[in-house]
Amino acid sequence: MTDKPSVALVGAGSMGGALLRGWLETGAIDIAHSAVFDPGISADMTVLCKSRELSLNPEIETGYDVLVVAVKPQMAAKALPQYAAIAKDAIVVSVMAGKSTNNISAALGGAVRIARAMPNLPAAIGKGISGLYATETIDAAGRDVVEHLLRAAGKVTWVETEEAIDFVTAVSGSGPAYFFLLTETLADAGEALGLDKQAAAVLARATLAGAGALIDVETRTPAEMRKAVTSPGGTTEAALNILEGDSHALRALVKDAVAAAAKRAKELTN
Ligand SMILES: NC(=O)C1=CN([C@@H]2O[C@H](COP(=O)(O)OP(=O)(O)OC[C@H]3O[C@@H](n4cnc5c(N)ncnc54)[C@H](OP(=O)(O)O)[C@@H]3O)[C@@H](O)[C@H]2O)C=CC1
Ligand SMILES: O=C(O)[C@@H]1CCC=N1
């Protein structure tokens, strides 16, 4: 293998597409020897593949360095067996929530070298974070390849156990949706106060973007930054008293929500 792996990407939807964009933008893969497999690929992705002369839905043959699996976990049992020939010689990297390496191996005809990665949607602009786990069958060079591919999507962090990938999924994989929901509810609350709908939406969205950009460059902890916004006896404190309350309502709610996501990941294993 050269320093750029050849990749067979299975599933070029939301996440597979985001990863592909990152690889193409950063020159992370050997385009001439890579391919995308997705029978129902979107028009956007088709244009992207064609513009970069990236092979789209070719015949299934061996010879790829890495097989990246980005189909829905519920589709895995039906979709994966046809790619078993590719998996035989390749490192398999699954971004599927929940699906265990044992399960992936079985669906891919007994594939041996399997890693799991859990990226998140900001991968689409290289601002994602991925949790990575590799079975012992993947050596240091193989782990470097996995890391190289996910670095094109942003930051990476390795976890020691496969179970921890479910926890990563619950925190950062699903995490962007939590902040998007908060942004929706903030806009709705602004509208309820009397702001114009459009103005409330712009204010909420820009607040999420600004807070995200700030925390990205700050060395202070989130708690310290929260305190920097909160004047004693001021408006933020009044709002936080509702969100936290004596029962720490928001913290309890988020803890329950994240636990539910982790539980669902476990259920998706089989
Ligand atoms: N979205 C996210 O933020 C994240 C998603 N993930 C994981 O990424 C995976 C994909 O999720 P997401 O991108 O949201 O889902 P999408 O439905 O957007 O993408 C899945 C893609 O796989 C295609 N597909 C279905 N069957 C096959 C097949 N036999 N061969 C090749 N491609 C096929 C689908 O086509 P069609 O639509 O025609 O069925 C679709 O384009 C999931 O396992 C999810 O857990 C991980 C982290 C974050
Ligand atoms: O909702 C899901 O199951 C996937 C995994 C993490 C984000 N989206």
Domain at 7-168, CATH class: alpha beta
Query: Which ligand 1 atom is at minimum distance from the Cα of 73?
Result: 43
Give me ligand 1 centre to Cα 75, in Å. 8
Domain at 175-267, CATH class: mainly alpha
Cα separation of 112 and 136, whole Å? Answer: 10
pLDDT at site 270? 77
Give me ligand 2 centre to Cα 103, in Å. 18
Q: Which ligand is nearest to the CA of 94?
A: 1
Give me ligand 2 centre to Cα 162, in Å. 17
pLDDT at site 246? 74
Confirm or reject: Cβ of 174 under 6 Å from ligand 2.
yes
Residue with tokens 């895995």: 76
State pLDDT tens for residues 17-67: 999 999 999 999 999 999 999 999 999 999 999 999 999 999 999 999 999
pLDDT at site 245? 80
Confirm or reject: Cβ of 98 under 6 Å from ligand 1.
no
Confirm or reject: Cβ of 13 under 6 Å from ligand 1.
yes
Cα separation of 36 and 56, whole Å? Answer: 5
Residue type present at position 170: A
Domain boundaries, the chain: 7-168, 175-267
Confirm or reject: Cβ of 114 under 6 Å from ligand 1.
no
Cα separation of 31 and 249, whole Å? Answer: 50
3: pLDDT strictly greater than 90: no
2: pLDDT strictly greater than 70: no
pLDDT at site 187? 98
pLDDT at site 1? 60
Residue whose CA lies nearest to ligand 1 atom number 44: 96
CB neighbour list of residue 66: distance below 8 Å, 6 or more residues apart: 5, 6, 7, 8, 90, 91, 92, 93, 145, 146, 149
Query: Which ligand 2 atom is at minimum distance from the Cα of 73?
Result: 3
Most ligand 1 atoms within 8 A of CB, residue of 10, 48, 71 to mutate:
71
In contact, 162 and 168? CB cutoff 8 Å: no
User: What percentage of the chain has pLDDT greater than the value 90?
Assistant: 96
Query: Which ligand 2 atom is at minimum distance from the Cα of 97?
Result: 5
pLDDT mean across residues, the chain: 96
Residue whose CA lies nearest to ligand 1 atom number 35: 40
